[in-house]
Structure formats: structure tokens, C-alpha cells
Amino acid sequence: MSAPGGVVDALDEPDAAIWSDVVGQDAAVAVLRRAVADPAAMTHAWLVTGPPGSGRSVAARAFAAELIADSVRDRQGPDVADAAAARVLRGTHPDATVVATDKTVITVAEVRELVTLAQRAPAESGWRVIVVEDADRIVERSANALLKAIEEPPPRTVWVLCAPSEQDVITTIRSRCRHVALRVPPAQAVADLLVRRHAVSQDRALTAALAAQSHIGLATRLALDESVRERRARALEIATSVRGVGDAVIAAGELVEVATAQATAAATERDAAEKAELLRALGADGEGTLPPSVRAQIRQLEDDQKRRSRRAVVDGLDRAMTDLLSFYRDVLAVQVGADVPLVNTEQAADVRSVAAASSGPEQTLRRMDAIQTARTRLAGNVAPLLAVEAMTVSLRPQG
């Protein structure tokens, strides 16, 4: 590793480019870079937390990239180190493993595979780094399989777990990790990233960053994809179009229909490919002649895919509700005369119209409470249409 020296001049070093996509997180980056530069600051288990869109996984990958690059620089030179970092960031370096899931939990079997991998010596560098992007989905029975690997890791293995908050991670796991907290990045920093990375205009970038409330991934989709902007605009129209119970029921049905269609479109091809791959791995030519053990694995895959599809629907609805919350946040800001920028700059006229038409801040707060209640119900497995209908009915004007 490089000689200790902290990170006083870290941003002047070539490795600073590794961190260029980690925006608005100077304090957290300083902690991680100091650990790379100074063995005394290094630990073998890290927990990176931050709100959605803050760049948890981006920071974790950058940490893995610099750690691996630094371990080969003195021995193999800067060109090899730079190439190693680029491979880590692309996801092609054998010593860096990134685990992400769109399922509701990370299973015991998946954790055990990682534990086995963690025991292997690095193939090309001085470190084996395992990044788990969704550590909050490691349930207790899976955490027990991971615990010993984190308590007594091999000397050249580093675990980097990512989650929204410390409380989202099983206590026995988080207590054995060094915690690094990210914050919501400034909207302007996110906009600058979009301009630099995707060459969009500054106006579009800032509008997207504000609308996404500095969620980097969502801001990127809003800046680049017209259909995403249109879906968001339709969700916000609920605030102005719902005048009675009939309107509320129709709006709820449309919202659920759109979320379901999106989830189905995203899953159809992927589910078929997963099933075909499983059949190939099992040496099966077709389902008609499958033995019971193989049929059981196919059923398990289909059950996992159904759970993933439902989660995609819930996630889509939750995103729409979050957008509605931002609209009423703007309404409330106008009503109380708060000196803060609007999140929904393109809907500013609608925001002011709803603010003027409502009975006051109390009604706006009740509407926001109704949206939060719907989000809670969805997370608790209430039927999506019922939860959304109850919400939209609560958003209608009160006589």
C-alpha cells in the first residue's frame, strides 16, 4: 500500500478521478481515502449508509477501485493501477465483487456463496473486496451466516455493506462494521454531474435534480428519458385533477395500471432468460420431462420472480407517491411563505393554484399524511389498489 499520509492532498492525486461520480460527500470520501492511504485507518468491514440516491453503491465501488488500484501501484506501476481501477468500476475485476438484488431478501444460500468467496486469496491485487449494495435485505437467518466472516475475515478481504441507515441493518452485523454516512447531495452538485456525464443542458439538469430531490439515479433518468418525465407529470396531475370520489378512483386505477405495466415490461424478458438459464444449468431440455427435484427449483424461481415483480410495482407506486409528497411540500412552502426553492419548478403554476384553492396548511398536511399512510400500507403488503384509492380519495378538495 502507499505510505501513510492521510488525505490532505488526496484530491490532487490521480486517483481523484475514481471519485468523480461521488458528489457532495467530501467528508465521507475523506474517511474512505484515508483508510486506503493509512493502514492504521483500515478495517475489514464497512457500512456505508445514506438516503436513496445519495450514491452509496457508487461510493462503495469507488472505495473498492482505489483500494485495489493502490495495492498494485507500487509493484506494477501507475498504468496498471489505473487499468485495475477502471475494471473495478466497470464490474470486470476478479478481486471486486458487487452484489445487488431486486428481490425482497438476500437468502442464506447467497450469503454462504459470498462467505466462500471471501476466503479466497485475491487473484491479481492486494485485496479482495465484496460490496453488498442491499445489506438491509439481509434478514436475521442470512446475517448469522455472514457474522463470522465479518468478525474474522481473511487478512486481505474487505466487506463493504450499503444500506439506507444503520437501523436497517441487523444489529449484530452493524456493530462489527465501521460506519460511513452519506448525506443528500446538493441539487446543484447533482446537476453538475449530469452535465459532465451526459452533456445535458444546465437548465434540464437542474430541473431534473430538483424534481428528483437530489436522487442521482432518478435525476439521471429524468434528464435523459422523456417517458420518465411524462410518467412523473401524470402522477403530479393527481393533485389538480381529483375533484371528487369518482376522479379519485379513476386516478388510483390508472396509477396502479401504469406501475404494473412498467413492472411487467421490465420482467418479461428477464424472467424468461432466467428460466432458460436455469434449465440449461440443470441439463433439462423441457419442462414436460422434468424430474420432481428440477420442477421444485423451477417453482422456486417462479416464486422469486413473482415477489420481485410485486416489489417492482410497489416501488413504482412509492416513487409516484414520493413525487406527490414533493408537490404538496411545495404547496405548503407557498402557503407559509417559506423562502425555499420549489422542487417542482415546471409545475410552479399548479403548485400556487392548489395552494390558493385549499383551506390552508392544515389541509395540505392532512394530504401529506394520507400519502405517507399509503406508503406504509404498501410496505405492509396491503393490496396496491386499495392503498392508492384510499390515498387519492383523501386528496380531493374538502367542502
The pLDDT score that the predictor gives to residue 8 is 32
In terms of average pLDDT, the best of 224-233, 258-267, 295-304 is 224-233
The pLDDT score that the predictor gives to residue 289 is 63
Nearest Cα residue to 387 out of 323, 314, 322: 314
> Which grid cell sits at 385?
389498489
Percent over 70 (pLDDT), the chain: 94
Total-model pTM: 0.77
| pLDDT average, residue stretch 239-249 | 93
| Confidence band, pLDDT 50/70/90 cuts, at residue 143 | confident
Mean pLDDT of the chain: 89
| Confidence band, pLDDT 50/70/90 cuts, at residue 294 | confident
* C-alpha span between 293 and 188 (Å, rounded): 55
Nearest Cα residue to 347 out of 250, 244, 234: 234
Task: Name the amino acid, one letter, at 182.
Answer: L
Nearest Cα residue to 84 out of 114, 39, 126: 126
* C-alpha span between 320 and 251 (Å, rounded): 12
132 burial level (CB within 10 Å; 0-12, 13-18, 19+)? buried
Enter the DSSP assignment of 168: G
H or E segment and range at residue 328? helix 292-336
The pLDDT score that the predictor gives to residue 342 is 94
pLDDT digit string, tens, across residues 191-225: 999 999 999 999 999 999 999 999 999 999 999 99
pLDDT digit string, tens, across residues 315-329: 889 999 999 999 999
- Residue partners of 104: CB distance under 8 A and separation at least 6: 137, 307, 308, 311
Whether the per-residue pLDDT at 23 is higher than 70: the answer is yes
Looking at per-residue confidence, does 140 or 162 come out higher? 162
Task: Name the amino acid, one letter, at 359.
Answer: S
* C-alpha span between 11 and 191 (Å, rounded): 21
| pLDDT average, residue stretch 256-274 | 81
Structural domain spans, the chain: 10-181, 187-224, 245-395
pLDDT digit string, tens, across residues 40-97: 999 999 999 999 889 999 999 999 999 999 999 989 999 999 999 999 999 999 999 9
Architecture of domain 10-181: 3-Layer(aba) Sandwich (3.40)
- Exposure class string for 159-179: b at 16+ Cβ within 10 A, else e: bbbbbbeeeebbeebbebbee
Neighbour tally for 77: CB within 10 Å: 11
Nearest Cα residue to 203 out of 346, 349, 322, 347: 346
Handedness of CA 67, 72, 75, 81 (dihedral sign): negative
* C-alpha span between 10 and 79 (Å, rounded): 18
* C-alpha span between 132 and 162 (Å, rounded): 6
| Confidence band, pLDDT 50/70/90 cuts, at residue 303 | confident
Query: Going by DSSP bridges, is the β-strand pair 178-181/157-163 parallel, antiparallel, or unpaired?
Result: unpaired
| pLDDT average, residue stretch 110-114 | 92
Whether the per-residue pLDDT at 279 is higher than 90: the answer is no
Whether the per-residue pLDDT at 258 is higher than 90: the answer is no
Whether the per-residue pLDDT at 4 is higher than 50: the answer is no
Whether the per-residue pLDDT at 179 is higher than 50: the answer is yes
Looking at per-residue confidence, does 285 or 368 come out higher? 368
